[in-house]
Structure 1
Amino acid sequence: MRFVSFRSGADEARLGVLEESRIHVLHPGSTLLGLLGDDGERLHEAGAAALRDPYDVLDLDETRLLPAVPAPPTVRDFMTFERHVEGTAKLAGPDGRVPAEWYEFPTFYFTNPYAVIGPHDDVPVPPGCTLFDLELEVAAVIGREGRDVRAEDAAGHIAGFCLLNDWSARDLQLTEMQIRLGPAKGKDTSLSLGGVFVTADELAPHRSGTAYDLEMTATINGEVLGTDKWSSMHFSYEEMVAHASRGTVVRPGDVLGSGTSGGGCLAELWGREGFDAHAPLGPGDVVTIAVEGLDSMTSRIVAYSDRGR
């Protein structure tokens, strides 16, 4: 199933099941987070009930989609695409290589859940940033709590997936990470979550290796920046859940980003071809990220002073 959180006019946020271009609305008070917590049965039952007997039915274009998970408790962002790591490593010099340690486990950092914005929200250039960048990712959403989850059991803890764009102030990030701590302000202003949450069973027919045999594409102002296969992840989401939960707890609604796909950001291009290969993002630019069979999301870049207008 495909769930959306949305607003229609001045109405409060609602939850619905998306079928083609129509939203079958669940009863007031229903939230995605409120339907998580088990093996997915409650979510699917609520969705099936909405398809049979909806509280309302709306056209998608009558609504404004909100983040698929409007208020995630935590956001962990991983780095699982080898081609991306290889390209960005060259920012340190032409001989930059993927660190041997990267292959040992799926590493991540915690990013700011308060920075989460929706798929139609404008994205401000962070204060002081002159090298603004996008990151094409797919996030898994935890559906069931777990501690010390084994990779072979982790699929039952993943409720579904949504798009994620981890906007990056590369100049701030590169500077602060010289201190061996971070990223921090380089990743602190905006994080776009797609508006469509797709349950894991919906994607099961496309499973291939670590992920799914579906095309990922990033464009800037209508020009393709790069493409990759979702299945080219070096680590699986199950391995990510296992690593994230080791010695601690993952809880319903927690977001686990895949990290940037190959070709899914400017930093990778800059690492391979130099900073003259493409201008950084700036006000007026329009960025679209898309994953076949999942969702697409288009964002307009604005000056920080124009945010929220």
Structure 2
Amino acid sequence: MKSLALVIAAALAGTVAAAPPALARPAQPALVADFAVGPQYDTTHVYVPEADFDRFVASFVATFGGTTSKQGEFQVTPTKSLTKSQLALTPAGTVSVFGFKTPIPYPFGDERTGYLVTDLDAAVTSAVKHGAVRRLATFPDPIGRDSIVQWPGGVNMQLYWHTTKPSYAPLATVPENRIYLTADAADRFIAAWTGFAHGRVTADDRAGPGAEVGQPGKTIRRVSIESGYGKMVVFVSDGLLPWPYGRDMTGYAVPDLAATLAKAQAAGVETLVAPATFGTRQSAIVRFPGGYIAEIHSDAGR
């Protein structure tokens, strides 16, 4: 006769064998971390001739309001250089302004934006996993660390981290990062960016008016994306764009376009493309002293 211990052991073994083993369950994919801090910490990088530095900063703040950080001269690149540098912090978006006193080392000057992240090394690793390439090794700057990555289609961005976390007020309106691509790269870029940024496509118009990019009579694809890094609009066209379309890196939302353009004109800003209405948006393109080109828009119903 079997002992009670063996019976119990056999019963338990049968019970265990009948139950699905926990380790046999399919592994759940790890969540991709979101390294965004907030759109008020994201800046458009504006490179202007040193002689135009002060005029540009003054005109930008006169147009959108806001304040500036203290101006200084720094080495912001990993190789020897010197630039004037200042932030212009406005309710419509922030710009990092550079007026180099030396030649600009490669690959600086091509990055359109700087995005603050919570963990730089992890963010760069994630960007590469999602299809970006590093344009240089991560390097220290006077207040933190930086890297520059390139996304499909040649879209260059800086990712940065500060030793002491800055504290900026939320924006009144969130600006758009305006990306111009052909169909060859658009889907790859959109997939890469939304995967990295936890981005959400809020609109995808595959028959948008070409007039919005200077191509009346044609249709374009217009994709709107939102994430913790702010807003983005991707214009997908044949690339045959008249000047200045494609040179406008950022679009700024304002309550009253006419009033904003009047302030801009008084501050020495040139209107390159007169206001026009596309759907619910009234839009214009301007050029600031020093050459910075931007789009400005408001709700056409206002």
What TM-score do you get using the length of structure 1 for normalisation?
A: 0.25
Which has a greater percent of helix?
Answer: 1
What TM-score do you get using the length of structure 2 for normalisation?
A: 0.26
Which has a greater percent of strand?
Answer: 2
- Structure scoring higher RCO (CA < 8 A, sep ≥ 6) equals 1
